[in-house]
Amino acid sequence: MNPTRESHATLVDLLDRVLDKGLVLDADLIIHVAGIPLLGVKLRAALAGMETMLKYGIWKDWDEAQRAIATKEYRQKKTAVAPESRVATLCH
């Protein structure tokens, strides 16, 4: 099986591949003025779909924390509605 190159790829195809497979950017940037380094920046970024990130263990803690926060907010909203309905029944 020989690899083939498709010359008709669209932006949607590219985005689909990046979200499915992932992309890692690793860059070092150093700003010099008159030959003196003033600022250094190390950038590392990962771009992928949530399923891909979770599959490789990236952001697992973040995902669990977000789900816990959402569950807590849901429970708070659910209990906040209950006291109002009790007050309405007591007043009538």
Do 51 and 84 share a structural domain? Answer: no
φ, ψ at 16 (rounded to 5°)? -60, -45
Please give the pLDDT value at position 59: 78
CA distance 84 to 90: 10
Q: Are residues 51 and 74 in the same domain?
A: no
Question: Are residues 48 and 90 located together in one domain of the fold?
Answer: no
Rg (CA), the chain: 25
Question: Beta partners for 25?
Answer: 45
Tell me the backbone φ, ψ of residue 8, rounded to 5 degrees: -110, 35
Instruction: Please give the average per-residue pLDDT across 14-26, as a whole number.
Output: 86
Domain containing residue 40: 1-57
Give phi and psi for 72, each to the nearest 5.
-65, -45
Q: What is the predicted pLDDT for the residue at 91?
A: 53
Alpha helices by DSSP H, the chain: 11-21, 50-55, 60-91
Per residue in 65-87, pLDDT (tens digit) is 889 999 999 998 888 765 555 55
**Judgement on whether residues 9 and 49 belong to the same structural domain of the protein:** yes
